[in-house]
A and B are shown apart, each in its own frame.
Chain A
Amino acid sequence: MSAIPEKGATNDPRLERRAAMRTLLANRGDMLVVTGLGSTTYDAAAAGDDDRNFYLWGAMGGAAMVGLGIAIAQPKRRVLVVTGDGEVLMGLGALATVGVQQPPNLAIAAFDNGHYGETGMQASHTQMTVSLCGVARSCGLEAVYDITGDDALQEFAGRLRHFDRTMFARVAIQADEPPRVLPTRDGVVLKNRFRRSLGLE
């Protein structure tokens, strides 16, 4: 008997990442968006570049915390962090920190393909023993959604329009690599245009 239970992740229903991102951002209104290092940055750019997107091209593990800082600073704006399972795993403590703060305007969606897509599709912990939703619940979050199908994704996208407590969603996505769509990598440009969109520059 293996010490590591098989979760059969590859047999789960899984969503296509580009379509999933389009669904989340389709009616974003004035929502602010942070994406994590790697594929979620390409997915957001593919859905339509926007000054209110802050793409991380590095700082792996930092996406949720960047979102937390924005959410505290902009309590009247909704903030959505979309990042990958590997990126969440690298900064797992951030979920504990978010769980303590619980800003009502912050939502985190983890695109979980069970792999480190950027580095050659090595298996991540989420296809072994780790449940990101379980971690989020253990950190004190109550609005936690495990999304494996389109109906649940549509429902979550609807919740993103009006929400009043911290939300966490794990979105099961296919482990594929659609063609890269690369937004600017100039961090100063990304920072300044984001702040300008809020009237800060």
Chain B
Amino acid sequence: MAATAVADWRASIFAAFKSADIRQIGYVPDAGHTLLIQQCGADPDITAVSLTTEEEGVALAAGAWLGGQRCALLMQSSGVGNCINMLSLAKSCRFPLVMLVTMRGEWGEFNPWQVPMGHATPAVLEAMDVLVYRVDAAADAGDTVAAALDIAFNGGLATAVLLSQRLIGAKKWVK
């Protein structure tokens, strides 16, 4: 059961991307986003841009919108902290922005160094006026991402969807 459910929620996010005509993604690799990164990279209509730091993605997404394409960002919660000043670009120009954030430092976290930024992620996003949604149940992933994409691109807002660590599964440190 577990494997199918996992495949389903990840596939539902990709389906939401396709329905919203996402044409670029910017990502910093993360285990929780692996399948989505692979799917986007294999899609001839999507340019997948590997970033060196997450703030590059906020600027990439702005450029994509200026050029007439829709971009979504994939990152881990620790990367949200790297974006804070660059989020002023989205706010000052009212750029649409969608950040899919896999959470660390929550349920089942092994590494305490992941806890501070994971714990602060919703607060810092909200401090920069990013609309924060959260997904805890696999069944909600596709709809929540679709809602975030809709309000971002049709409403000119910055949004983040936090994919909880319970949803993704805690990282296994000892194999």
Contacts and interface: CB of A to CB of B under 8 A. Distances in A.
Answer whether A and B are interacting partners. Answer: yes
Interface of A: 32, 34, 54, 56-74, 77, 91, 93-94, 96-97, 100-101, 187-188, 190-191, 194-195, 198, 200
A100 B71 contact: no
B66 A54 contact: yes
Interface stretch (B31-39, B88-96, B121-129, B140-148): B88-96
B23 to A, nearest CB: 7
Interface in B16-39: 23-24
Contacts of B150: none
B93 A72 contact: no
Contacts of A54: 66
A198 B61 CA distance: 17
A72 B46 CA distance: 10
A188 to B, nearest CB: 5
Contacts of B92: 57-58, 187
B58 interface: yes
A195 B60 contact: no
16 contacts: A56-B89, A59-B59, A59-B86, A62-B59, A67-B63, A68-B49, A69-B66, A69-B69, A70-B64, A72-B63, A74-B68, A91-B55, A94-B56, A187-B94, A191-B66, A198-B67
Contacts of B47: 72, 101
Nearest to A66: B63
A72 B94 contact: no
B50 interface: yes
B62 interface: yes
Contact of B64 (A59, A69, A94): A69
A175 to B, nearest CB: 26
Contacts of B50: 97, 100
Which 7 pairs show the lowest CB-CB distances between chains A and B? A69-B63, A73-B67, A93-B52, A187-B93, A62-B59, A65-B59, A73-B69
A68 B53 CA distance: 15
Which of the listed residues B60, B68, B71, B95 has the most CB atoms from chain A within 10 Å of its own CB?
B60
Contacts of A68: 49, 60, 63
B51 to A, nearest CB: 6
Nearest to B71: A69
Given A57-B92, A191-B93, A62 B66 contact: no
Contacts of B86: 59, 61-62
A193 to B, nearest CB: 10
B52 A94 contact: yes
A69 B52 contact: no
Given A59-B85, A70-B63, A94-B52, A188 B68 contact: no
Contacts of A62: 55-56, 58-59, 62, 86, 89
Contacts of B67: 32, 69-74, 77, 198
Contacts of A77: 67
A195 B63 contact: no
B81 to A, nearest CB: 15
Contacts of B69: 69, 72-73
Nearest to B95: A191
Given A188-B93, A195-B66, A195-B68, A91 B56 contact: yes
